[in-house]
Chain A
Amino acid sequence: MSKKIDDERSIVDRDPANTSSSVLQDRRTILKAGAVLVSGATLDLSGNPAYAESSAKSDSAAKLPPQPGDRIQIAKGELKNQFIKTDSLEVNAIGVEAFPYDPKTEVLRRKNRLNRLVVLRLDPEEMDEATREKSADGLVAYSAMCTHRNCTIQSWKQEERRLRCHCHLSEFAALSEGSVMSGPARKQLPMVPIGTDDEGYIVALDGFTRKPGGAKK
């Protein structure tokens, strides 16, 4: 594990403002300028060194976790197969299920269910600072894997802006970095920090903020 990745991880995990803010802002700027942002050291950012290491061994790009520059492709419903743009979703409506997509290799990273995302559009004014930093025009991308037992999160408590897992009713605050509000889950829901590219598509600025999915025991 390189020192660089450890540094990156601490930046993403750190709460909130200052360093984190400036680094993410810098990346957003870079992406908007269309620069290529792929280096060995920034691949596989998951917030967990062991996870990053095992993922790096995978020979399939379709199993890799979200990478910087990935677009987000909708998996289900009326907008199926579309890439999310800033105007794709309705504010405060139930999120869409989606997967990261590498536009360079044209690979949808769908062969790993831990890559499943739920993307919502919220009001940036309602978000806390740390969440807003990871959002783009109100869009936020969360891991759709409940951190309790890996159930796919498909329930949305609109009034409270909470993502809910139907399996065991854990609830996560969509306005504050997926923090646990109730239920058996102990870990907050990971996010994928997002920005926009030149064409208005939503792109990942980074990997998951922490290891996605639930505990094995």
Chain B
Amino acid sequence: MKILIPSITALIVAGVLQSAYAADYNPVTDERLTNPEPENWLNWRGNYAGWGHSPLKQITAENVKDLVPVWSYSTGVTEGHQAPPMVNDGMMYVSTPQNQVIALDAATGVEIWRYVRELPEDLFQLHPTNRGVALYGDKVYMATLDAGVVALDAKTGEVVWDVLVGDYADGYYSTLSTLAAKGQIITGVSGGEFGIRGYVTALDAETGKETWRTYTIPGPGEAGHETWKGDSWKTGGGSVWMEPNYDAENGILYVGTGNGGPWMPDTRPGDNLYTTSVIGVNIDSGDITGHHQYHWNDAWDWDEVSAPLLIPIERDGKKIDALVHAGRNGYIWTMEYDKTGHIDFVEAHKYVIQDAFASIDPESGRPTYNEARTPGTGKTVTFCPSLWGGKDWPMEAYNPDTGLIYIPSQENLCSEMGGVPLDERESGELYIGVPIDVILSSLRFHEDVDTSKPVPIGKLQAWDMNKGEMVWSHDFNDTPYWGPILSTGGNLVFSGGTNDRKFRAFDAANGDLLWEYPTNSGITAAPSSFEVDGVQYIAVQSGWGVDAERMQGLLKDMLPAGRVPDVPQGGVIWVFALKGQ
């Protein structure tokens, strides 16, 4: 159901500047998105495969010590800034919390236009953030907190179309970066904590008309529906709050899905397909082409919504088209995909302390559970990793030169949690089955942690997926770590994510810390890299909030006074280049 919203405003500024930039806007095509130019950042993760990698190599491990800020820009809003600066031939587009889109000159930071969405005054903003815009044709597309998608003219910021794909008053909302391909804009819905039924949806890029909608929970008569009992499928979660990755050659989306809702597994007996899964979806028809469920009948709030990276690996001398996903459930999963979108399990390795799974079937990848670590209604247990998982939403990156995948993980954290009998679902209100006060006091350190010393929590890990082995890691003490990764051709890995507000560069081959810079706030956004007039830039938004702040608040109570600093809020776009460039 799509409804046109009448109450949208676009604040357009600097009309003179617009016309100067409008003249030569380079439309974004499927060809450009499939083979992105190194100087641009046209996809959310740099390419459709989700690598988070820029081939640019002016900034290197040798000279990164000379990296300095060249411009910055206040977004004017607080809360968690998570979107990457997107760049098309010198034009930058950045989304922020509260559904702003800001267009700037990428080299100078001059503002070209700004769109500000008027959000409904009764909107329940559980996650007031946005993970990025899509660039396609001559438009910019953003999913919105009131469960919509808005298309803006890339040259002027004017609204071209604006549609809703869900009912925010019923708990549906959207925070993901949208994906553009084959004339369509792909979006999805959040709301797993409100008792929604998740879906991924394609809209016509020109008109906003819905072309297909695929529920992540099959309805009656559809394959997989038998994994639900009674009416539990109607409120079973499986939300889609991150952009899928995409096999452009074969037209298959790989979509990560959220956990089942309500949280306690006994409220929805069965495997609960396709929650906590990756599903292949045909971009033309919306048909599900394959799936792998990382774990069945989730009990731990372990969303697996971060999409797997499409990377080539070698195993036993054989090349595999692999999907690799560092799961919130504490295992790094490798699967094989084919041109039809079929998905086969290959292997799984524990990458943080994980005590909830007793075993993993080597053929199917299906885990068995340690019952003493599996919460339920009236059953409180401790389990590791915490409900935020080994890695929550912040994205991994893959460097084709080193062959390594880089994972922003959190170690030594566990949760103690159990459910209570559910009240009747109330439209648009939380439907979790675990009291809020239990969730807010659920975080625990692993029993081996000694809090009299600095506690390694954040852990940047580099893995060689040809061998299924960790190659190096870097610990961050006494801090949450919520930093998506950027990899670059200069043998560098960039990431923020910590409560000391720093943005850092590491040697991609060995993990040496090479550079760091304290920004205005904590960085939970995806960095990007681009080039204008022969100068390579690194760009990132700094703006702490949402789950990083929640975890930070809990850690403050768990560690001795003075060990966990305050992190100020307020968003700023930072752009760096080598001194003298």
Contacts and interface: CB of A to CB of B under 8 A. Distances in A.
B437 interface: yes
Contact of A167 (B77, B118, B122, B126): B126
B126 A151 contact: yes
Contact of B430 (A94, A154, A168, A217): A154
B280 to A, nearest CB: 34
Nearest to A63: B122
A152 B549 contact: no
Contact of B437 (A94, A114, A167, A213): A94
Contacts of B110: none
B125 A113 contact: no
- Give the interface SS of chain B, mostly helix, strand, loop or mixed: loop
Contacts of B569: 184
Contacts of B546: 168
B428 A113 contact: yes
Give the interface centre of A75, A167, A213 by most chain B CB atoms within 10 Å: A167
A77 interface: yes
B78 interface: yes
Interface in B236-277: none
A150 B122 contact: yes
A150 to B, nearest CB: 5
B392 interface: no
Give the interface centre of B125, B426, B545 by most chain A CB atoms within 10 Å: B125
28 contacts: A75-B426, A80-B423, A94-B437, A113-B122, A113-B124, A114-B121, A149-B79, A149-B125, A150-B121, A151-B124, A154-B430, A154-B436, A155-B437, A155-B440, A164-B440, A166-B440, A167-B126, A168-B545, A168-B549, A168-B550, A169-B549, A169-B550, A184-B79, A184-B545, A216-B119, A216-B121, A217-B77, A217-B119
6 smallest CB-CB distances across A and B, nearest first, come from A149-B125, A154-B436, A166-B436, A169-B553, A217-B98, A155-B436
A14 interface: no
Give the bracket for the number of chain B residues in contact with chain A.
20 to 34
B423 A214 contact: no
Contacts of B116: 217
A216 B118 contact: yes
B535 interface: no
B377 to A, nearest CB: 16
Nearest to A94: B437
Contacts of B550: 168-169
Interface string A75-104: 111001000000000000010000000000
Interface string B399-435: 0000000000000000000000001001011100001
A208 to B, nearest CB: 14
A84 to B, nearest CB: 18
Interface string B100-129: 000000000000000010110111111010
Nearest to B96: A217
Interface string A116-149: 0000000000000000000000000000000001
Given A168-B550, A217-B98, A152 B124 contact: yes
Contacts of B223: none
A152 B121 contact: no
B449 interface: no
A123 to B, nearest CB: 21
Given A149-B79, A151-B126, A155-B437, 8 more contacts: A114-B122, A149-B125, A150-B124, A154-B435, A166-B440, A184-B78, A214-B125, A216-B119
Interface in B47-101: 77-79, 98
